[in-house]
A = this chain, B = another copy of it.
Amino acid sequence: MDATLFSQAAIEMRRRIITMTSKAGSGHMTSSLSCVELLIVLFSQFIHYDPIFPNNIFNDRFILSKGHAAPALYALYSLAGWIHEDELESLRERGSRLEGHPTRRLPFIDVATGSLGQGLAVGIGEAIGLQRLDPQPHVFVMLGDGEMAEGSVWEAMAVGAKHDVSNIVAIVDCNRLGQSGESIIGSEIETLAKRTESFGWKTKVIDGHDLIAIDEALKGATSSPGPHMILAKTIKGKGYPLSEDKEGWHAKVLNTEELAKALEHLGAAQNIHLQVQKPQRHVPISRKPSSLRVYSPAFQNPTATKMAFGKAVESIVSQDRDCMVIDGDVKNSTMTQGAFVSYPAQAIESYIVEQTMMGMATGLDVVGKTVIVSTFAAFLTRAFDQLRMAALSSRRIIVNGSYAGVSIGKDGASQMGLEDIAMMRTLPESVVVYPSDAYSAYALLHELYSLDTLSYIRTTREPTPLLYGPLAKFPLGGSHIHGASDADQVTIIAAGITLFEALKAQQELSSQGVAIRVIDAYSIKPLDCETISLSVHQTHGRVIVVEDHRQQGGLGEAVLSGIAGDGQVFFKHLCVHGIPGSAAPQEELQEHHIDVEAIVRAVRGMV
């Protein structure tokens, strides 16, 4: 290690940090200044990465979980020659790759960060995905001490230790201060060390500005199996004395005068180049095979969509050895269990940790795996922030939300996913499907496999009749019409469990001489607006949406958004209101007026 070079690099890096944040007029200068030495030693001595081929599977991976220190990372990139020094001036400007928090606009960044406490789970996913390579790449995650308060960090630690993830090194920049005061741990770094040790991480406390100590700690962490945790005591604002270890500086930057003084204090600009080592081998991250065979088994009548989903998972993991399944201790309910038994090497039990599960999926996607994540739809709400960040990172994950809706029955409201469609629809570029029968569930999971974005399949606990055959097609953005005739007076739009109620209503009304049309809107996002619009028009503007979900953000509002501006529309929405109680599945549908009777009544009120 060239300590002189690195000391000079630290000065130059600090110059660039304070200059670019001053120019931008905002940014987290002091949080960036505290991790300068850590980043210099890490990137110059330990990380193997080829900036020309970010997509080389043998690259080590780095995640700046404390994303607000982005200026430090950008300054380091400029010292390493990965970006030009001039680009630093564009920090936080419209169109710049150097955003306020790291994003994938820069090719060296795999996941957007900035919502704290998420990086470690992502790193664990990456580390697991890289574990079978030779030589085995390392994953480095830099956290702040503030974000160590987030429970997501601790559940990730427990899972990482449980799965013996040996090629990961977490580095915590313990600069004592959060945004509005001391961090939860403050200066009690030994307490923090006890905690991380007790969670099964080999822990070392060091001075985070001591180049030699950093080098030694990282040597230890990269030469023995982990998981490793380096707790680095640092000074927030280090290098700009007025801000050092001071409250009130979290979001402050320097004005022109302060900047001039600070630069003078730091010392003259220097032309420093930091050399980052390249990995020994070069293999591009492989993606899924281009096509998948869809040989649906013959399903018995009735079959729950969760069962067919389970079979589809087995089909996919058997065809793509880079496809992984993650489940949160409900595999015997969501029915990923078959894949766990038949393909254990591709299955990860992540226990009851929905946040970490989603973070791991994100990390596995980074290193080329296709991931199917599965739990109850209700409990996906626990991971909304992780889902949001995965979507903002344009990562590809297939999410299964099982036991959706009031139709699960007796377990009661806490177990009923009733806001999942709204949640998943809000994610940018997401795809949302909701199959009704076994064949559509089986086919739709295979459809989601072909996507490059985050997608969601909603599955049901109750067995439902077989409606389609093994050869039926379910293109995304499509729908299926049941019983269209010129005499149809109302369009009913449903998906999943309520589709069968709609079909029963169709039959009952038909016997009474009222023809209605039923559309299976299995593809909720994108929605088949064309077919729906046409049908609504043909049924004189009369449309009823019936769904086992809340009014807000579900299929009903998706339909309204889809046909808004289509002229005369008479709309009725049957959906779940209030707080459901325990009851039998059919009782629940009745109680919430989303059953055949309610549909018949609604139609009668319209025609």
Binding site for B on A (CB under 8 A): 24, 26-27, 67, 92-96, 99-101, 103, 105, 112-117, 146-147, 149-156, 158-159, 162, 178-181, 183-184, 191, 194-195, 197-200, 248, 250-251, 327, 329-333, 337, 349, 351-356, 378-379, 381-382, 384-385, 388-389, 391-392, 394, 410-415, 418-419, 422-423, 425-429, 525, 550-553, 556-558, 560-561, 564-565, 567-573, 577-579, 581-584, 587, 591
**A250: chain B residues within 8 A (beta carbon):** 332
**A561: chain B residues within 8 A (beta carbon):** 551-552, 556-557, 560, 573
- Set B105, B155, B385: member contacting A150, Cβ < 8 A: B155
- Set B103, B379, B394, B557: member contacting A557, Cβ < 8 A: B557
**A26: chain B residues within 8 A (beta carbon):** 410-411
**A569: chain B residues within 8 A (beta carbon):** 564-565, 567, 569
Q: In the docked arrangement, what's the CA distance between A88 and B101, Å?
A: 55
Min CB distance A324 to B, Å, is 17
Do the beta carbons of B414 and A113 come within 8 Å of each other? yes
Min CB distance A574 to B, Å, is 12
Do the beta carbons of B415 and A332 come within 8 Å of each other? no
Min CB distance A208 to B, Å, is 20
Interface centre among A114, A560, A570 (most CB of B within 10 A): A560
Do the beta carbons of A565 and B572 come within 8 Å of each other? yes
Do the beta carbons of A379 and B428 come within 8 Å of each other? no
- Set B379, B423, B578: member contacting A115, Cβ < 8 A: B379
Do the beta carbons of A591 and B94 come within 8 Å of each other? yes
Do the beta carbons of A101 and B415 come within 8 Å of each other? yes
Do the beta carbons of A178 and B329 come within 8 Å of each other? yes
Q: A150-B352, A183-B351, A352-B149 are in contact. Are A100 and B410 (CB under 8 A)?
A: yes
Do the beta carbons of B414 and A101 come within 8 Å of each other? yes
Min CB distance A256 to B, Å, is 19
Do the beta carbons of A352 and B384 come within 8 Å of each other? no
Min CB distance A500 to B, Å, is 20
Q: In the docked arrangement, what's the CA distance between A310 and B7, Å?
A: 44
**A153: chain B residues within 8 A (beta carbon):** 151
A-B contact sample (7 more), CB < 8 A, given A146-B351, A146-B352: A26-B411, A99-B582, A151-B153, A154-B154, A154-B155, A381-B385, A553-B553
Q: List 26 A-B contacts (CB under 8 A).
A: A103-B412, A112-B414, A114-B412, A115-B379, A146-B352, A149-B353, A151-B151, A151-B154, A151-B355, A178-B329, A191-B200, A197-B198, A384-B385, A384-B419, A391-B579, A392-B579, A425-B553, A426-B552, A426-B553, A428-B550, A552-B553, A560-B560, A564-B569, A565-B572, A567-B569, A568-B568
Q: In the docked arrangement, what's the CA distance between A213 and B565, Å?
A: 70
Min CB distance A106 to B, Å, is 12
**A553: chain B residues within 8 A (beta carbon):** 422, 425-426, 552-553, 557
- Set B27, B114, B184, B413: member contacting A392, Cβ < 8 A: B413
Do the beta carbons of B351 and A184 come within 8 Å of each other? yes
Closest to A196 in B: B198
Do the beta carbons of A356 and B565 come within 8 Å of each other? no
Q: A158-B184, A429-B578 are in contact. Are A422 and B552 (CB under 8 A)?
A: yes
Q: A353-B149, A381-B385 are in contact. Are A414 and B426 (CB under 8 A)?
A: no
- Set B191, B332, B410, B419: member contacting A179, Cβ < 8 A: B332
Min CB distance A422 to B, Å, is 5
Do the beta carbons of A178 and B410 come within 8 Å of each other? no
Min CB distance A200 to B, Å, is 8
Q: In the docked arrangement, what's the CA distance between A184 and B356, Å?
A: 13
Which 4 pairs between the two chains have the least Cβ-Cβ distance? A151-B151, A553-B553, A114-B414, A151-B155
Q: In the docked arrangement, what's the CA distance between A93 and B410, Å?
A: 7
**A194: chain B residues within 8 A (beta carbon):** 198
- Set B101, B150, B379, B572: member contacting A353, Cβ < 8 A: B150
Q: In the docked arrangement, what's the CA distance between A438 and B144, Å?
A: 34
Closest to A558 in B: B552
Q: In the docked arrangement, what's the CA distance between A256 and B37, Å?
A: 69
Do the beta carbons of A418 and B412 come within 8 Å of each other? no
Interface centre among A152, A351, A378 (most CB of B within 10 A): A351
**A105: chain B residues within 8 A (beta carbon):** 581
